[in-house]
Structure 1
Amino acid sequence: MQNGCRHRNLAEFTKIGLIHSPSGRLLTSETFQGSLNVSGVSLKRKQVWTLYTQPDKPDAFLLQNHLGNFLSADNNGNVTLVTTEPGCEERFLIHFDPNASGEIALQSEKHGFYLQWTGTEMRCFSKEPVWWGMRLAMHPQIHLRSVHRSCFIRSAKKDSELRAVTKMPCSPKFLIWLQQLPLPSARGLAAPACTKQDVARLSRVALRTQSGRFLCANGSLTDSIDKATLFSVSFKPNASQVVLFQDENGDYLTVGGGGVLKVKVGSKEPRREEFFSIETPSIHVRLWAFNNKFACNKHGLTFSTTMEETEDHKSTIYQLEYVGGRGLDTSAIANATTTPAADGAALTFPFDGSEDAATYITSGLWRLRSQDGRLWQLPPTGCAQLAPKDCTEHTTFDILYVSSYEEQAAGEGKPHRNNAGGIVLRTPEGMPVCAKTLGAIGVSERPIDAAWKPVPAEVLHMVTLVNRTSIACYSILACGFLAPAIGRRTGGECGADCANTNPEQWFLRHLVAGTVQLFAKQNERWFILNATSQGNVTLVPSTTGPEEGGAGGDNAGTEFAICMACDKHALFRSVLPLGGHTQPGFLCANLQGGVKVDVSGTITPGCIWHI
């Protein structure tokens, strides 16, 4: 997992929230004065705790709040937050309820006492375990991998079971959603208390397939959540960072015969088949060029396949892998969202060349991998090809997102502006990748400098996330999921905001231009996300769903280009020109959860979405 901490040699494990019993409130770290209480009713910024491990002491966790400070307990039981380099008093052992309720107890590694809420303050002076409920604060859409078999889990047998099958996830069937029951709504300080059973139930997790079916303990899939579909989650801080799942009887979820996931009755001690790892979902793409042909490696690596042929060709789908390096530093952006001032903190947004024609965003170094595991190789001379296995020379490139460019269709005498934009692949030597007339892929001789403007042969179009039929969009600033706004309805339309901490499933319609439309289902009706010319964001009714073409939102206001900033964060650029601005407009959230399309020309933390 990536290190997003300012301290050295710390590895991020996961993010959680802690539920106090019996109040049912979440442990909260206040932004001002650094006080701790159990007043939280939803998993927002102040209720999220990031767990870190240290390589030389992998058996304990560090808990960091949203301000970057670490939870600390001294020998007198006093609990504070420290800003210094974490030491032995900041390390806690996490114990999981032996009854597999899903609850945890936090024990000071140095002093041996347990963390507790006394009713007025946080203390760490209990000799007996004090149990807290655990909420997962990670993104809910994941890949699940069997550590022992080194295989990813997918739905199989007509969506009737989950099975560990392959080392490379390549379709929506590999997407798993981690789902917990929603926290009860609390109004005022007199909200009813939760029982220990309530807290335990809120701590457990269901495994849901992309099609909406839940894994049962017996290995079958069902359409609704019940106690047979809820599992407690436990983990251990070590090099492999494994997670384990237990059913209500304490038996472990395992990979059984034929790779099928099911609970092994009587398995009270975990073995290697019970170890799983949670992975960031892969990004699969298709690319096409100015000749309207898709990249294909069936007979060499060329732009040679028509759109009609892509459905039958796995050789047109490539895994986009983030390497890092140059471009937007999304970890720094995420860490910048620690105070209310972050909403106005602009980040680097380079405009190169003329203001309207050569605007692009750099997004770091990437690689493209074919279904057989080989990487795209882009040599300085000659044609691109798939590299031999284990070869990495000339395989990395920048992705530059071009918001618009001039193009000329066949038979047209006058060029026109393509507002859907595209991408340019830039080699480490600063040269753009281009498509040749007959479809070969090579490196252009025109360096990308201040005078450079992309020509059609250098602009490629990327159909992003072809392995995902739906996503959840989490604002790292508002700490909420993009969702239809409750109570904000005008006529048939409704608003959108990020005030919801429960994930909203947005269904994707992939358009050939490389853009997407986002659909939400409300009361059996489809709505489509729409940007207005004033920059407002609404949901408008659609007569068709995401899998159908045609009407129901066929306008530029409903089209968004996904600009991947890293393997998990993205920008959503509206294709609709807003208010006469030539600068691109990005879907942007504010601290209060409001959403608009921002055309200021700067990237703020509100523009970054975890998908």
Structure 2
Amino acid sequence: MSTNGISMALKLQFGLINSENRYLTAEAFGFKVNASGTSMKKKQIWTLEQDQDSQVVFLRSHLGRYLASDKDGKVSCEEEVPNTDCRFMIVMQPDGRWALQSVPYLRYFGGSAEYLSCFAQTIGESELWAMHLALHPQANLLSVGRKRYAHLSIADNELSMDSNIPWGVDSLITLVYMDGKYSLKTCDNRILSNDGKLVMENGPNTSFTLELKSGKLAFKDCGGKYLSPTGPTGALKSGRCSRAGKDELFELEESHPQVVFQAANKRYVSIRQGVSISANQDDETDMETFQMEIDKETKKCMFRTSGGNYWTLVTHGGILSSATEVEENTMFDIEWLGRRVALRANNGKYVCTKKNGQLAAVSDSLGDQINPLMCSTGEDEQFVLKLINRPILVLRGENGFVCHHKKSNTLDASRSVYDIFSLLFSDGAYHIKSESYSFWYVSGSGLVCTDGDKPEDFFFEFVEYGRVGIKGQNGKYLRGDQGGTLMCDGCRVDASSLWEH
């Protein structure tokens, strides 16, 4: 659980890679397991559950069944509720790999291809597994010891662990996976070195082995030392410790979208004047930044301030930032209008900007209908919504991550590795740029291509918890087709056209 109530600790999901570079796989047919997967897709993803009172762990497959071993070393993955045979211990190795030991029988789990067992009395190469995180790699990083969050400190040119809350673009951390190790990338595309410096190029000093300690993460550098916060600002760098204690442990917390709103009067919505919410500012600070939290069941949206309060509907349609808990009046429907959005409060009225800048839910309609992909001005019920904490973008769909195709200018949408793209805001739309500095565009056949010499508009719709629909200029949504190619031909937002971001 979060220490600040703004985010939730992420459940650890991962793939396990054996010594033959194959992933542990849970088959749907017969609940069988093997080590034959060549990449990490749905069948290769496992969720870690830990006994709160011990170091015992359980491994749950994508089917909701638990890995188990009997007294003869036979491995299965059928149990819907974990029993004694599902209890394992993680025995960490110096290189960061895991050995999984059956708790009741003290044997080690390993093997290759179809021949898996849990009968080895000692740990050999075939009993070692490398962990490849499957969660979305963009998150907030919490120091367990200091109970503070990482943020990019431009003034000190460091990654500082001294934020009480993970607020704004500076708090976004991207984990970059390469050859079994991880790097920490800041929002400005620099990479943390083990000496605390931020550099542009990856190398041995920026690559860390990810270790699991009591459900928390530790980052071990190439010299066997661990990252930890140091000094008054909590500058993140490798310390002297070759063992991970509390100061060397971290949690990853989900990074909700954080946005600013610009009203029809061209001014930003703010709480700078107190609990009242008014469009009366010309710059973007924490007071103009709001965290979007989407309810999983109703799909309605809550807007949280940097102080932890929510927008709420009050008497006579007023909107204040005075709610401390989620309830019906803190929930808003968002209507996506291309370059603009409209908000409808719990009273059924649209939120509009009054002449004095204050927001109030008093409008019955949006006025004249507009072309959803064209700019509209002068509409008091319409706002420009700007996402501010995703300057770099990683997308994961139902079949995997979005990544450059190896042999063409298109994109794969079913990869276990990901590419990082730049996201540029443009008057309610977004331009997506590749590392080669060329832009995404949609071809006449609906293919998403990456070699454009000029930017093309895409429209982001945050319609579900943790997921976004992305619409092209053709009015269609990005989706991964059956062959894994990224297309812009989806007619609606569904599982194939929703993206973790």
Q: Report the equivalent of 2:70.
A: 74
Q: Report the equivalent of 1:570.
A: 468
Q: Report the equivalent of 1:338.
A: none
**2:317 maps to 1:397:** no
Q: How does 1:412-427 map to 2 (within 5 A)?
A: 420=338, 422-427=340-345
C-alpha contact (below 8 Å) 1:423/1:461 kept by paired residues: yes
One of 437, 457, 463 as aligned partner of 2:386: 463
d(CA) in 2 for partners of 1:49, 1:497: 23
C-alpha contact (below 8 Å) 1:171/1:468 kept by paired residues: no
d(CA) in 2 for partners of 1:368, 1:160: 29
C-alpha contact (below 8 Å) 2:89/2:101 kept by paired residues: yes
Q: Report the equivalent of 2:302.
A: 366
Q: Report the equivalent of 1:114.
A: 108
Q: Report the equivalent of 1:610.
A: 500
Q: Report the equivalent of 1:253.
A: 227
Once the 2 structures are TM-superposed, how far is the Cα of residue 503 of structure 1 from its aligned partner? 1.6
Q: Report the equivalent of 2:6.
A: none
Q: Which amino acid aligns with 2:302?
A: W
Q: Secondary structure at the match of 1:93?
A: strand
C-alpha contact (below 8 Å) 2:294/2:302 kept by paired residues: yes
Q: Which amino acid aligns with 2:362?
A: S
C-alpha contact (below 8 Å) 1:380/1:443 kept by paired residues: no
Write the deviation string for residues 305-343 of structure 1: whole angstroms up to 9, x where unpaired: 4xxx225x443222223454312xxxxxxxxxxxxxxxx
Higher strand share: 2
Q: Report the equivalent of 2:165.
A: 168
Q: Which amino acid aligns with 1:115?
A: F
Q: Report the equivalent of 2:195.
A: 218
One of 21, 39, 46 as aligned partner of 1:49: 46
Q: Secondary structure at the match of 1:46?
A: helix
d(CA) in 1 for partners of 2:91, 2:349: 53
**2:352 maps to 1:434:** yes
Once the 2 structures are TM-superposed, how far is the Cα of residue 276 of structure 1 from its aligned partner? 1.2
Q: Report the equivalent of 1:385.
A: 320
Q: Which amino acid aligns with 1:510?
A: F
Q: Report the equivalent of 2:369.
A: none
d(CA) in 1 for partners of 2:198, 2:266: 41
**2:11 maps to 1:13:** yes
Q: Report the equivalent of 2:122.
A: 128
Q: How does 1:275-424 map to 2 (within 5 A)?
A: 275-299=249-273, 300-305=276-281, 309-311=282-284, 313-327=285-299, 364-369=300-305, 371-387=306-322, 390=324, 396-402=330-336, 404=337, 420=338, 422-424=340-342
Structure 1 length normalisation: TM-score? Answer: 0.72
d(CA) in 2 for partners of 1:163, 1:12: 21
- Tell me how large the CA RMSD over aligned residues is: 2.9
**2:431 maps to 1:541:** no
Once the 2 structures are TM-superposed, how far is the Cα of residue 294 of structure 1 from its aligned partner? 2.5
Q: Report the equivalent of 1:516.
A: 430
d(CA) in 1 for partners of 2:18, 2:288: 51
d(CA) in 1 for partners of 2:31, 2:83: 19
d(CA) in 2 for partners of 1:530, 1:428: 38
Write the deviation string for residues 27-58 of structure 1: whole angstroms up to 9, x where unpaired: 23334454433222222223222223355x66
One of 260, 263, 267 as aligned partner of 2:238: 263
d(CA) in 2 for partners of 1:45, 1:394: 35
d(CA) in 1 for partners of 2:426, 2:154: 29
Once the 2 structures are TM-superposed, how far is the Cα of residue 231 of structure 1 from its aligned partner? 2.2
Q: Which amino acid aligns with 1:24?
A: N
d(CA) in 2 for partners of 1:90, 1:67: 15
Distance 1:424 1:325, change over 3 A: farther
Q: Which amino acid aligns with 1:303?
A: A
Q: How does 1:130-149 map to 2 (within 5 A)?
A: 130-149=127-146
Distance 1:120 1:600, change over 3 A: closer
Q: Which amino acid aligns with 1:319?
A: Q
Q: Which amino acid aligns with 1:383?
A: G
Once the 2 structures are TM-superposed, how far is the Cα of residue 392 of structure 1 from its aligned partner? 5.7
C-alpha contact (below 8 Å) 2:196/2:238 kept by paired residues: yes
d(CA) in 1 for partners of 2:483, 2:438: 23
Distance 1:575 1:212, change over 3 A: same
Q: Report the equivalent of 1:530.
A: 441
Q: How does 1:488-507 map to 2 (within 5 A)?
A: 488=408, 494-507=409-422
d(CA) in 1 for partners of 2:42, 2:325: 42
d(CA) in 1 for partners of 2:183, 2:328: 43
d(CA) in 2 for partners of 1:374, 1:66: 36
Q: How does 1:146-157 map to 2 (within 5 A)?
A: 146-157=143-154
One of 467, 479, 485 as aligned partner of 1:594: 485
d(CA) in 2 for partners of 1:142, 1:221: 18
d(CA) in 2 for partners of 1:216, 1:484: 26
Q: Report the equivalent of 2:407.
A: 487
Q: Report the equivalent of 1:334.
A: none
Q: Which amino acid aligns with 2:121?
A: K
Q: Report the equivalent of 2:205.
A: 228
Write the deviation string for residues 145-182 of structure 1: whole angstroms up to 9, x where unpaired: 11232211123355742211211233333222212224
Q: Secondary structure at the match of 2:205?
A: helix
Q: Report the equivalent of 1:356.
A: none
d(CA) in 1 for partners of 2:256, 2:289: 12
d(CA) in 1 for partners of 2:389, 2:270: 17
Identity among equivalent positions (%) equals: 24
C-alpha contact (below 8 Å) 2:290/2:303 kept by paired residues: no
d(CA) in 1 for partners of 2:325, 2:75: 51
Once the 2 structures are TM-superposed, how far is the Cα of residue 607 of structure 1 from its aligned partner? 0.8
Structure 2 length normalisation: TM-score? Answer: 0.86
Q: Secondary structure at the match of 1:387?
A: strand
d(CA) in 1 for partners of 2:247, 2:390: 28
Q: What count of residue pairs does the alignment treat as equivalent? A: 479
Which 5+ residue runs of structure 1 have no aligned equivalent?
Answer: 3-10, 183-201, 328-363, 405-419, 449-453, 489-493, 543-551, 578-584
C-alpha contact (below 8 Å) 2:448/2:488 kept by paired residues: yes
Q: Report the equivalent of 1:6.
A: none
Q: Which amino acid aligns with 1:366?
A: M
Once the 2 structures are TM-superposed, how far is the Cα of residue 79 of structure 1 from its aligned partner? 0.4
C-alpha contact (below 8 Å) 1:13/1:53 kept by paired residues: no
C-alpha contact (below 8 Å) 1:434/1:442 kept by paired residues: yes
Q: Secondary structure at the match of 1:509?
A: strand
C-alpha contact (below 8 Å) 2:350/2:364 kept by paired residues: yes
d(CA) in 1 for partners of 2:496, 2:71: 41
d(CA) in 2 for partners of 1:222, 1:574: 35
Q: Which amino acid aligns with 2:230?
A: G
Write the deviation string for residues 248-301 of structure 1: whole angstroms up to 9, x where unpaired: 443332111121112221x24433322211111242211123343321233342
Q: Which amino acid aligns with 2:344?
A: R
Q: Which amino acid aligns with 1:163?
A: S
Distance 1:383 1:230, change over 3 A: same
d(CA) in 1 for partners of 2:199, 2:474: 41
